Structure 1
Amino acid sequence: MTVTTATAVASTSASASSAADAGTAADPWPVPEFTERLRAVTADRYHDRHPFNERMHRGELTPAELRRWITNRFHYQRHIPVKDALILAKLDRPELRRPWLRRIRDHDGTADGEGGIERWLRLGEAAGLPREQLWDSSRVLPGVRFAVEGYVTFCRLRPALDAVSASLTELSAPGLMRTRISAFERHYPWIDPAGLAYFRTRVDQGARDGAEALALVHSWARTREQQHRAVAALAYKCEVLWALLDAVDRGDTGGRDGAPDGAGP
């Protein structure tokens, strides 16, 4: 069936219905249904279901694989304040900007030795990775670089609704952090438990940030078209996280597995 024929058939079917029934297709979803559609995206597509994460949580990663993930994921972590600054620039009122300023402080800290980026560096050190090595972007896999740059560009170019909707992966982050903490404590005892501070902190931060972002999306997505955009943006973000893990899972590091010579067990 061609697009033109399909359109004609749909138009004919619509004409057979009452005008009121035909009009409801464009009405916005009620908030509970809209919320359920957003949560369904992460239920189906969030990267907790990626084979690499599943292997991580079953304790099946080698030290080299875990270090490769820590190294490449840091490239994403270091760009979180960048994408949040781009979102911040789109917000036109102080009450909207304050939560995004807090997000930047959460990751950058307010002084040296603070914040989520610092905690990720300490995770790397606990796994035997010098922080200078994590900052060395030449070690980042091309697929990871491409995924992160795509997400940052998305937040730069798309409207605030789209960029904030993409951040709603945070709705699923607390559960993933709890699973990850348990997996690291049980399966990777060679990593100093103090290095897991990033995961512990993100349990509460992620829940708070996800709830705040969801409230914004509810208030901004007032039409069916806007709601569809929000769902699509969240699906795109899930694809970014999935693509990042695809690259880590199958990436050829050319002998650079993220670990210095002699590091780790």
Structure 2
Amino acid sequence: MAVARPRGRDEFAGALRGLGDRYWDRHPFHLRLHTGKCEPDEVRSWVANRWYYQRSLSQKNAAIIANCPLPDVRRRWVERIVFQDGRDGGEGGLGDWLALADAVGLDRSAMLDERHVVRGVRFAVDAYVTFCRTHTWWEGVAAALTELFSPGHMAARITAWRRHYGWIDPAGFAYFESRIPVVRADSAYTLDLVLNHCDTRRRQDAALAALAFKCDVLGAMLDAVDYHGGRR
């Protein structure tokens, strides 16, 4: 049986970008969130549940690093952990997300003890971390390519929230404002990494499956949040 030829670089990049149709920006909950149709408790539920994802990102990035034998990749990838966790407590992406919790009126202690995290979100996020622990480093990197689709979505979120949710303290937008330029640079590096290291058809197919899986993780999170609504 003949082995399928590898996709050309542009063809492979196009196939990865083509999975943008599965990104969570098209989910009914996000459409409602960005058109001002969510009640305050629904916004708070989204923030509280997204916290579980945020606080798990460094664990999945550490798993990718642990599986990667290449020092230059490890050195670059560890920057994501520093960005998210900060160099001291209360800094970085996690600190900014807690500021968002404050801005929408969530009790910080309730955020930290995760009492509002619904089981579907917990299950989906844990599955993502486990995927990165149990698959190759380049599959974990490929799964992170949802960042190709996120900068415009985050920019639209800031605009929409300012327009529709005047009750949110604008100080809470710091996470998105700081993350947008970083993720633009990260996505270019990540895409190049996947294109360079997934140089067989088998690897390319695995990378596409990894990115599709990550899109499903994000969609499952919103399914769970949408189902539970603002019940807290």
1:13-65 Cα distance to aligned partner (Å, 9 max, x none): xxxxxxxxxx6x711010000000000012x1000000000111111110010
Unpaired stretches in structure 1, ≥5 consecutive residues: 1-10, 12-22, 257-265
Larger Rg, first or second structure (1 or 2): 1
Distance 2:224 2:128 in 1: 15
Deviations for 1:214-265, whole angstroms, at most 9, x for unmatched residues? 1111111111111011001000000000000000001267x52xxxxxxxxx
Who is 1:138 aligned against? 115
Picking from 15, 23, 28, the partner of 1:37 is 15
**Deviation at 1:112?**
2.2
Query: Whole-Å Cα distance in 1 between the matches of residues 139 and 41 of structure 2?
Result: 36
Scaled by the length of structure 1, the TM-score of the pair is 0.85
Q: Which runs of 4 or more aligned residues in structure 1 lie more than 3 Å from their structure 2 counterparts after TM superposition?
A: none
Q: Match of 1:137, SS? A: coil
Per the alignment, residue 211 of structure 1 pairs with 188
> Aligned with 2:67: secondary structure?
coil
User: Any stretches of 5+ residues in structure 2 without a counterpart?
Assistant: none
1:65 matched to 2:42? The reply is yes
How far the C-alpha of 1:94 sits from its partner, in A, is: 2.4
Aligned partners of 1:208, 1:132: CA distance in 2, in Å?
33
Partner of 1:19: none
Inter-CA distance 100–69: structure 2 relative to 1 (3 Å threshold) = same
Equivalent residue for 1:105, pick from 44, 59, 82: 82
**How many residue pairs end up in the alignment?**
232
Q: Output the CA distance in 1 between the equivalents of 2:116 and 2:33.
A: 21
- Describe the SS at the equivalent of 1:89: helix
Q: Please give the root-mean-square deviation of Cα atoms over the aligned residues, in Å.
A: 1.3
What secondary structure is seen at the aligned counterpart in 2 of 1:27?
coil
Identity %: 48
Task: Return the letter of the residue paired with 1:140.
Answer: V
Contact 2:67–2:133 (CA under 8 A) maintained in structure 1: no
State TM-score, norm by structure 2: 0.97
